[in-house]
């Protein structure tokens, strides 16, 4: 399948200005097509890379190992008011879909809920915090030999297969739920009770919005590990480390106590606005609408609306997907750290998809030599 990239990306890969790319097109060296989004042109990535390599033949392999041109991904991309997974506009596509459907779209493999014994995570100690249980599950799986895959298809398949085991790890009792849908298992494992249909649907629609979001901090960490040819288990752990950041995977935790009315709202800005979406986070629209059909979410949704009313007008102040996670955790009567656990669980599919792409790229291309400048004086 042809991979189409923007003119700017082509220029980065070729090491030239965009005007030079257009010159290559006019000379017949590259073929372009109109961008469906309406701005600029798209070019065949393979042809661009072939042209880039043409002037470099004869160089030693060692000279090519550290070359970094740009990141081109088919996993997801964002427009001014929409997020896309593999060409599908997520807000529209996700309605009525399950988490299993979303994982299959992003990874290319569907999770099978019947797990072989080798992929069952033995009960983690009860003292392992909820937001660390997925990290513990990956370590446990790796101890049994899982996660050494370093090929694109092998890594994607391995993670899709392991997703039910990660859901099992959310159970603090060591007796994970065996309902027929992942969302039902998630609610049951976290709350200790059977999920309602409205709750399961809301969890599905919320987590599907979180499967991927382009080149985030966690994606970059995952790709850097894959570039060094770490196995997929270690790549996920690298991504999880970045997700542990308070400005990334933990963002919903700051809004949670406010929505529970146990902390004052003074100065709270977490959960509102997203720099990528001037008119509001489209992921939040879907997720909050789904939680609007859950009776127990009425109180946190009302608290969120009250907070929003105190902010300026404009999309930059609309609730974002972190707010939807905070609503979810309050509605399910969960601790704030459950929002982080849900974020990490969902984003696992996206991290794995990016690692799978990176395995097909040049080795060690994330080496930052060209961008590094030394400071200070000469050594004495």
Identify the pLDDT of residue 74: 94
Domain presence at residue 144: yes
208 lies in the same domain as 63: no
260 lies in the same domain as 214: no
Q: Report d(CA 367, CA 361) in Å as an integer.
A: 13
Identify the pLDDT of residue 263: 62
Identify the pLDDT of residue 43: 85
239 lies in the same domain as 316: no
106 lies in the same domain as 207: yes
221 lies in the same domain as 354: yes
177 lies in the same domain as 211: yes
pLDDT one digit per residue (tens) for the chain, 380 residues: 568 888 888 888 888 888 888 888 877 788 888 887 767 788 888 888 888 876 554 344 444 444 555 788 999 999 889 999 999 999 999 999 999 999 999 999 999 988 777 788 877 888 899 999 999 999 999 998 999 999 999 999 999 999 999 999 999 788 899 999 999 999 999 999 999 999 999 999 999 999 999 999 999 999 999 999 999 999 999 999 999 999 999 999 999 999 998 666 666 678 888 888 988 999 999 999 999 999 999 999 999 999 999 888 887 889 999 999 999 999 999 999 999 999 999 999 999 999 999 999 988 888 765 455 556 555 55
Q: Report d(CA 228, CA 224) in Å as an integer.
A: 7
113 lies in the same domain as 59: no
Identify the pLDDT of residue 18: 84
Identify the pLDDT of residue 54: 67
64 lies in the same domain as 142: no
Q: Report d(CA 342, CA 206) in Å as an integer.
A: 9
Domain presence at residue 342: no
136 lies in the same domain as 42: no
Identify the pLDDT of residue 189: 96
Q: Report d(CA 321, CA 324) in Å as an integer.
A: 5
104 lies in the same domain as 218: yes
The first and second tokens of residue 337, run together, are: 């750290």
Q: Report d(CA 347, CA 313) in Å as an integer.
A: 31
CB-CB contact of 349 with 107 (8 Å): yes
CB-CB contact of 218 with 242 (8 Å): yes
Domain presence at residue 341: no
Domain coverage including residue 105 = 96-246+350-358
Domain presence at residue 375: no
Q: How many domains are there within the chain?
A: 3
237 lies in the same domain as 114: yes
Identify the pLDDT of residue 97: 97
Strand order in the sheet with 32-34: 4-6, 41-44, 32-34
124 lies in the same domain as 238: yes
Q: Report d(CA 122, CA 195) in Å as an integer.
A: 24
């Amino acid at each position: 399948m042809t991979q189409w990239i923007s003119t700017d990306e082509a220029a980065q890969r070729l090491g030239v200005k965009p005007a030079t790319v257009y010159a290559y097109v006019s000379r017949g060296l590259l073929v372009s097509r109109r961008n469906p989004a309406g701005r600029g042109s798209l070019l065949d990535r393979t042809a661009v890379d072939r042209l880039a390599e043409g002037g470099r033949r004869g160089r030693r392999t060692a000279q090519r190992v550290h070359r970094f041109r740009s990141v081109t991904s088919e996993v997801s991309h964002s427009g001014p008011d929409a997020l896309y997974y593999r060409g599908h506009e997520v807000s529209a596509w996700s309605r009525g879909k399950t988490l299993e459907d979303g994982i299959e779209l992003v990874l290319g493999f569907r999770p099978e809920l019947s797990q072989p014994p080798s992929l069952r995570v033995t009960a983690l100690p009860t003292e392992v915090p909820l937001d660390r249980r997925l990290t513990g599950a990956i370590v446990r799986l790796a101890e049994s030999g899982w996660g050494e895959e370093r090929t694109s298809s092998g890594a994607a398949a391995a993670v899709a297969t392991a997703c039910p085991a990660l859901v099992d790890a959310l159970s603090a009792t060591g007796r994970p739920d065996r309902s027929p849908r992942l969302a039902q298992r998630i609610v049951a494992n976290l709350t200790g009770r059977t999920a309602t249909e409205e709750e399961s649907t809301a969890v599905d629609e919320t987590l599907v919005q979180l499967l991927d979001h382009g080149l985030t901090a966690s994606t970059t960490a995952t790709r850097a590990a894959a570039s060094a040819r770490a196995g997929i288990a270690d790549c996920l752990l690298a991504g999880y480390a970045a997700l542990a950041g308070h400005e990334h995977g933990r963002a919903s935790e700051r809004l949670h106590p406010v929505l529970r009315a146990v902390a004052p709202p003074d100065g709270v800005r977490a959960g509102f606005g997203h720099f990528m979406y001037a008119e509001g986070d489209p992921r939040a629209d879907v997720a909050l609408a789904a939680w609007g059909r859950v009776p127990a979410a009425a109180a946190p949704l009302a608290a969120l609306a009250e907070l929003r009313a105190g902010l300026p007008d404009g999309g930059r102040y609309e609730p974002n997907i972190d707010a939807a996670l905070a609503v979810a955790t309050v509605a399910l009567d969960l601790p704030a750290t459950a929002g982080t656990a849900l974020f990490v669980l969902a984003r696992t599919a996206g991290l794995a998809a990016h690692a799978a792409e990176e395995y097909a790229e040049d080795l060690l291309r994330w080496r930052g030599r060209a961008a590094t400048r030394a400071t200070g004086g000469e050594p004495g």
